[in-house]
Amino acid sequence: MDKALLFLGLIIIIFGILISYLLVASAINLGKSVKGQYSGLPQLQQNEIYIFTPINIVIVLIGIIILREGFKR
């Protein structure tokens, strides 16, 4: 078991989840702040969520792969 790879994998997974949470939370807060002006999130903000979601999933998957390699060693 390689502790450095385990630590790196955990850091990457936490980083990916944190980015996802912050992106969704900021979109919800923006939607609440412009609620009187628009019925939902602006289209640009929705597109931003759709673009960054696969990137965040890839970041978490890279962390999982690194964790798996850490357990193999």
Q: pLDDT tens digits for 31-72? A: 666 655 555 556 666 666 677 778 888 888 888 888 888 888
Q: What is the pLDDT of residue 69?
A: 85
Task: Answer whether 0.75 is exceeded by the pTM.
Answer: no
**Cβ-count burial 56-73 (b if 16+ within 10 Å, e if not):** beebbeebeebbeebeee
Helix or strand holding residue 53 (H, E): helix 43-72
Quick one: which of 55, 61, 29 has its CA closest to 42? 29
Task: Say how far apart CA 25 and CA 38 lie, in whole Å.
Answer: 18
Task: Say how far apart CA 45 and CA 53 lie, in whole Å.
Answer: 12
Give me Rg for the CA atoms of the chain: 17
